[in-house]
Structure 1
Amino acid sequence: MKTKLLIAALITGVAATSVSAAGFGRSEGAGSFGPRGGIAAMDFATVDANADGSITLEELQALPAAKFAEVDTDGDGVLSAEELNAQVTAQMAERAAARVEQQITSRDTDGDGALSLEELQPNDTTRLTSMFERLDADSDGNVTAEEFAAFETAMAQRDQMRGGDRGGRDGGRDGGQRHNH
């Protein structure tokens, strides 16, 4: 047991050191370092370079150089802004495609590979009804701009009490600035 823990710690340490030294390659796709870093975010087949069913320390140590070569498309030994941008763009496209595929898989009830308006409707209308009732402070069946603003203010105050900051209507992306739209 101690030997297995020591080996796991060693592999994770080497992988984390390799990621830091390489300074790139953090994506969430198979065969890459994910946001967690370390071996847990890597695809086994990618690390097992000779496909013999086991990973050696040498294979793990060679991974940053292999990832560097993959991004260094012109082979000049340095990563240009264009090469790094291409890598980031490709990673974002892969993540977006995976999210779209997951969305279709989870909601495509008729199996046609596309989503209809009915399939996109919320499955749980009680949650939507509950939210509407909280917004409709005077229970008249309509949400006014004032009721909506009051709800936003209450949510921002709740988030601040919890240690978060929703900021403006865009969820805080504006650095907490409130906008009158």
Structure 2
Amino acid sequence: MKTKILMAALLSGVVMTAGAVTAQPVPENMPERPDFATLDTDSDGTLTMAELEARANARFTDADADADGALTAEELVAQATANAEDRVARMIARLDTNDDGILQMDEMQPRGGARFERMFERMDADKDGVLNEEEFATAQERMQERAGGRHERGHGGGHGSRGKH
């Protein structure tokens, strides 16, 4: 039983990583999680371990294309690709302000406005209007710490150290 839960968690990690690589910029609500009602399969207003395990088992079964009870790299990649395609379609639907089915550069611009500017100002420790390498590295470390904290609590969002090779 623990093995199936571990495999479901591993599958979730692979899916999140593939989505982060495939669908830049990463949508704020990624990965999509089931709501309480979806997980509460007996509709009694509570979640049991059995219901959560059933969800993990269903995810495993969905990914196990040949139904042999094991996940190959190819099956994991296929599942991650399908999930990434779904996320990309949702991203286009959400950002495509001119409804032409594709995204132009102006539709991909940061939508934070003043929020984006405040974030930049917080990153600019010496308040000179530009980010130096040290300020940038400090900001990345803070973001990774926050992402790590969400990941440890089971809230996802940690996407590793993008851009570092």
What TM bracket, shorter-length normalisation? 0.3 to 0.5
Bigger radius of gyration among the two: 1
Higher relative contact order (CA 8 A, sep 6+): 2
Q: TM-score, normalized by length of structure 2?
A: 0.48
Q: TM-score, normalized by length of structure 1?
A: 0.44
